[in-house]
């Protein structure tokens, strides 16, 4: 992407963009350039009315009967089947429920149980040192409980870990800080060749780029509903396992530890003994969060609306173009201010975000940008993170964001005291 581009050229790119109309699906606040859809996706226009209908009609009027009449009871599967279309899973293989952390606990427990049965000498879980902390915390506790080792390594050290000690390779497909994209197919094949199982967190890849769980021969996966899936703050997450594990768990009657009633084979028989439901349904636990699932469905629908335009492959092409443009413009127009590209330079190894690091002013520069209406985020200790959601980000937004960043840096705006007070969440 040429850095000789100017703002007019960016506007021309937007005019030529076949995906541009998809932006109309969103309520985006005036005067802001939102580059944080990788943290919290924007609000779909359909969500408010749809949730209001769920509240007033389904809950308020239908009351308890809506479990049947409004299809509430099947919502985890219905939304799951839609998400499945985005991540290369088959219908019935994926359900929406609980949080990413809780779902990770379920599948990592299941993967470890399978390995404990098949290869008890394998006592190591390997993950990336800079994996999202909640994944590491969940794995750390499970490892402690089971007397296993959680081994944290750098991405280039993963290959060394694929040996006879490895039980499970647990990775987030796109690193939340750097945006580095792991090769799911290659790592799954290598892990399998070494006798290990893979657990994938799709938090920064589902809805951001083409994911092919079955094509990659992954074993287990979880993902987040409130980032690229636009499901709303704290939206339900999702969980998937490969059909071979579903079949085996069915055959052997295996359970996951959060054996709640919605994962029972016959929840409304109210029998005292637990029998797991078939396949991925056993990963349901408590009563489904209907209002939250309703909002999540609206979010997922904004991505499915791209299917006639080429779906995730087309979205990915735009995402790559946006990211390339941003990286090139920052490096050319903000040169000399100490920013270093902290994401892979090769777009094929990067998710839908571009990060820069700065040894000192990262936090304050992000606050100064936010004050100007350019919303990215800061990830401790030194990362300025910018997410590019091809559903609603325009090329001109990229231009304008970089122009604001240039002005912040050149004017030393980040020095202002109000940009140097830490909030709870950034």
Residues assigned a catalytic role: 132, 201, 226-227, 385
100-118 and 243-252 helices, crossing angle to 10°: 70
Q: Which of 122, 242, 245, 255 binds a copy of itself (CB under 8 A)?
A: 255
Reduce the DSSP state of residue 197 to 3 states and report it: strand
What is the CB neighbour count within 10 angstroms for residue 121?
9
Under the criterion CB under 8 A, does residue 18 sit at the interface with a copy of itself?
Answer: no
- CA geometry: angle 330, 426, 371, nearest 5 deg: 60
Report the nearest approach of a copy of itself to the CB of residue 49 (Å): 9
Under the criterion CB under 8 A, does residue 380 sit at the interface with a copy of itself?
Answer: yes
188: left (phi over 0), alpha (psi -120 to 50) or beta: alpha
**Of 194-253, which residues contact a copy of itself (CB under 8 A)?**
226, 232-237
Q: Contact 266/197 with Cβ under 8 angstroms?
A: no
Report the nearest approach of a copy of itself to the CB of residue 103 (Å): 9
Under the criterion CB under 8 A, does residue 117 sit at the interface with a copy of itself?
Answer: no
Residues 172-191, one symbol each (x = binds a copy of itself by CB under 8 A, - = not), give: -----x--------------
Report the nearest approach of a copy of itself to the CB of residue 189 (Å): 27
Q: Which of 34, 238, 240, 399 binds a copy of itself (CB under 8 A)?
A: 34
Report the nearest approach of a copy of itself to the CB of residue 287 (Å): 5
The residue (of 102 and 197) whose beta carbon lies closer to a copy of itself is: 102
Bridge partners for 26 per DSSP = 44
Q: Contact 200/220 with Cβ under 8 angstroms?
A: yes
Under the criterion CB under 8 A, does residue 260 sit at the interface with a copy of itself?
Answer: yes
Structural Rg of the chain based on CA atoms: 22
Under the criterion CB under 8 A, does residue 278 sit at the interface with a copy of itself?
Answer: no
Bridge partners for 374 per DSSP = 33
Residues 6+ apart with CB under 8 A from 20: 14, 394
Q: Which of 92, 267, 310, 373 binds a copy of itself (CB under 8 A)?
A: 267
The size of the interface with a copy of itself (CB under 8 A), counted in residues, is: 90
The residue (of 188 and 201) whose beta carbon lies closer to a copy of itself is: 201
Under the criterion CB under 8 A, does residue 134 sit at the interface with a copy of itself?
Answer: yes
**Of 47-86, which residues contact a copy of itself (CB under 8 A)?**
47-48, 51-52, 55-56, 58-61, 63-68, 72-73
Q: Which of 17, 20, 99, 165 binds a copy of itself (CB under 8 A)?
A: 99
CA-to-CA distance for 136 and 227, rounded, in angstroms?
19
Report the nearest approach of a copy of itself to the CB of residue 62 (Å): 8
Bridge partners for 170 per DSSP = 199
Which has the closest alpha carbon to 389: 315, 331, 333, 328?
Answer: 315
Q: Which of 174, 280, 289, 328 binds a copy of itself (CB under 8 A)?
A: 289
What is the CB neighbour count within 10 angstroms for residue 6?
9
């Amino acid at each position: 992407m040429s850095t000789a581009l100017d703002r007019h050229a960016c506007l021309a790119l937007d005019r030529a963009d076949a995906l541009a109309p998809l932006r109309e699906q969103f309520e985006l606040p005036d005067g802001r350039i939102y580059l944080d859809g990788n943290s919290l996706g924007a609000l779909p226009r359909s969500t408010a009315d749809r949730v209001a209908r769920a509240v007033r009609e389904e809950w308020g009027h239908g009351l308890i009967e809506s479990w049947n009449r409004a299809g509430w009871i099947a919502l985890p599967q219905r939304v799951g089947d839609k998400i499945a279309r985005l991540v290369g899973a088959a219908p019935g293989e994926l359900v929406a429920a609980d949080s990413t952390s809780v779902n990770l606990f379920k599948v990592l427990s299941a993967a470890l149980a399978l390995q404990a049965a098949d290869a008890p000498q394998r006592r190591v879980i390997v993950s990336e040192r800079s994996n999202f902390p909640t994944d590491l915390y969940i794995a750390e506790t499970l490892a402690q409980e089971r007397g296993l080792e959680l081994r944290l390594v750098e991405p280039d050290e993963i290959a060394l870990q694929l040996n006879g000690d490895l039980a499970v390779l647990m990775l987030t497909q796109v690193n939340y800080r750097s945006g580095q994209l792991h090769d799911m197919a290659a790592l799954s094949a290598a892990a399998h060749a070494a006798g290990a199982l893979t657990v994938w967190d799709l938090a920064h890849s589902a809805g951001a780029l083409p994911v092919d769980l079955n094509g990659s021969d992954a074993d287990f996966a979880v993902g987040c509903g409130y980032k690229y899936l636009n499901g709303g703050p704290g939206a339900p997450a999702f969980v998937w396992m490969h059909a071979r594990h579903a079949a085996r768990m069915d055959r052997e009657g295996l359970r996951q530890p959060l054996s709640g009633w919605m994962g029972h084979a016959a929840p409304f028989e109210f029998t005292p003994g637990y029998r797991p439901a078939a396949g991925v349904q056993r990963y349901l636990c408590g009563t489904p969060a209907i209002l939250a699932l309703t909002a999540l469905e609206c979010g997922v629908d904004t991505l499915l609306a791209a299917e006639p335009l080429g779906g995730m492959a087309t979205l990915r092409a735009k995402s790559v173009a946006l990211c390339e443009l941003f990286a090139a413009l920052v490096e050319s127009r903000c040169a000399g201010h100490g920013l270093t590209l902290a994401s892979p330079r090769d777009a094929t190894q990067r998710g839908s975000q571009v990060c820069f690091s700065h040894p000192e002013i990262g936090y304050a520069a992000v606050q100064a940008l936010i004050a100007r209406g350019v919303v990215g985020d800061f990830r401790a200790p030194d990362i300025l993170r910018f997410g590019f959601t091809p559903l609603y980000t325009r090329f001109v937004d990229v231009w304008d964001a970089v122009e604001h960043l240039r002005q912040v840096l050149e004017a030393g705006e980040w020095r202002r005291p109000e940009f140097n007070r830490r909030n709870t969440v950034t």
